[in-house]
A and B are shown apart, each in its own frame.
Chain A
Amino acid sequence: MSRQSNRTTDSKKMNSELFTLTYGALVTQLCKDYENDEEVNKQLDKMGYNIGVRLIEDFLARSSIGRCQDFRETADIIAKVAFKMYLGITPSVTNWSPGGDEFSLILENNPLADFVELPDNHSTLIYSNLLCGALRGALEMVQMAVDVKFAQDSLRGDNVTEIRMKFIKRIEENLPAGEE
């Protein structure tokens, strides 16, 4: 590719408020289009997955990070490099399970949910579910099946926002990526 020679590794930045509000407009639209919160959560997860599947390539190219030795290293890279690069935040990695296959990302502030208050009639909406999909999609592309879900969300009155990630298995065969 001819572009490779002058490609820069730092990504271009933009105002996070436009990003936040754009995401907000999308979630609002989904809430209008679907009848219940579960469907919206599912749709957000699906969109996140599609993003993750594409994002990983951008990430590997820009970060020039190689294969991780273990799940702990993966956790660190996600928190310190990936979140920093794309959302400008660094969540902390905590609450490791004894087996080392499960951990939590604690987000002090969540750029997706800035300005947001959940109305009472959307109490089961997982507003930032796109993040889970994106993490799952990106890791799947590097042969890791991971279960990702929100354990706590400050939008729903919890003290912190916590994403729980559980390693399921290595995906042995390098299957071609499906469209969805």
Chain B
Amino acid sequence: MDTRFTRGKSTILERPLSRPKTEVSLSAFALLFSEMVQYCQSRVYSVTELQTRLAEMGQRVGASMLDVLVLREKNGKRETKVLNMLLFIKVNVWKSLFGKEADKLEQANDDDKTYYIIEKDPLINAYISVPKENSSLNCAAFTAGVVEAILTHSGFPAKVTAHWHKGTTLMIKFNESVIARDKALDGR
């Protein structure tokens, strides 16, 4: 194998992409996530900044997960339609990351660019109690980052934000261009 790829340090590229599922304890994750939130908090001045930082970390996770998920779950086939892409997230992405489908996927009544993924009790927030003075803080901003990266890197640029509504709602706002393209595809 060309040493340019592995630099002789790791065998990471020789391992199969599909492999048995391995598990860690949720407590371990919860404690790690708590440290992450505290760390981010120590470096920002507002809830918005904190959520932005969490979202940035989530984006890294989403970007790394995307290719391997498409390969494992869809045999490498990419979605081209908005609805199928959203279903891929609701079903496949959620199942592999959180062990279950997302509770609900809805479209905004008055806006064809906006969709919602609703999760009553997100795993991420399982052990988090939000202080009263920062009640708008939703640490699922991290998950929003994951979803945003997956959409954006799949060719569906969007902004995703986390809100307290029916549990936690991730609000997905697609770029105009995405919706226009989808309509054009429908017309064919």
For B27, B28, B29, B98, which residue has the most chain A Cβ atoms within 10 angstroms? B28
Inter-chain contact B28/A87, CB cutoff 8 Å: yes
B7 within 8 A of A: yes
Inter-chain contact B9/A118, CB cutoff 8 Å: yes
B185 within 8 A of A: no
A92 within 8 A of B: no
Q: Which of B7, B24, B27, B43 contacts A117 (CB 8 A)?
A: B7
Closest CB-CB distance, A116 to chain B, in whole Å? 8
Number of residues on chain B facing chain A (CB within 8 A): 37
Inter-chain contact B24/A28, CB cutoff 8 Å: no
Inter-chain contact B60/A21, CB cutoff 8 Å: yes
Chain B residue at minimal CB-CB distance from A119: B7
Number of residues on chain A facing chain B (CB within 8 A): 41
Interface secondary structure of A, over-half rule? helix
Q: Which of A19, A50, A120, A156 contacts B29 (CB 8 A)?
A: A19
Inter-chain contact B32/A14, CB cutoff 8 Å: no
Q: Known interface pairs A15-B96, A21-B64. Does A156 touch B24 (Cβ–Cβ under 8 Å)?
A: no
Q: Which of A22, A54, A111 contacts B57 (CB 8 A)?
A: A22
Inter-chain contact A26/B36, CB cutoff 8 Å: yes
Q: Known interface pairs A26-B57, A87-B28, A155-B9. Does A14 touch B35 (Cβ–Cβ under 8 Å)?
A: no
Q: Which of B12, B39, B43, B99 contacts A14 (CB 8 A)?
A: B99
**New A-B pairs, 19, CB < 8 Å, besides A19-B24, A87-B25, A130-B32:** A11-B27, A12-B25, A12-B27, A14-B24, A14-B99, A16-B22, A17-B65, A21-B64, A22-B36, A22-B57, A29-B56, A51-B31, A51-B35, A55-B31, A86-B24, A111-B24, A117-B10, A118-B9, A120-B7
Q: Please give me the 4 A-B residue pairs with the lowest Cβ-Cβ distance, nearest first.
A: A25-B57, A12-B26, A13-B23, A25-B60
- Which positions in B face A, CB cutoff 8 Å? 6-10, 12, 21-29, 31-33, 35-36, 38-39, 43, 53, 56-58, 60-61, 64-65, 96-99, 123, 142
- Which positions in A face B, CB cutoff 8 Å? 11-19, 21-26, 28-30, 33, 43, 47, 50-51, 54-55, 58, 85-88, 111, 115-118, 120, 130, 154-157
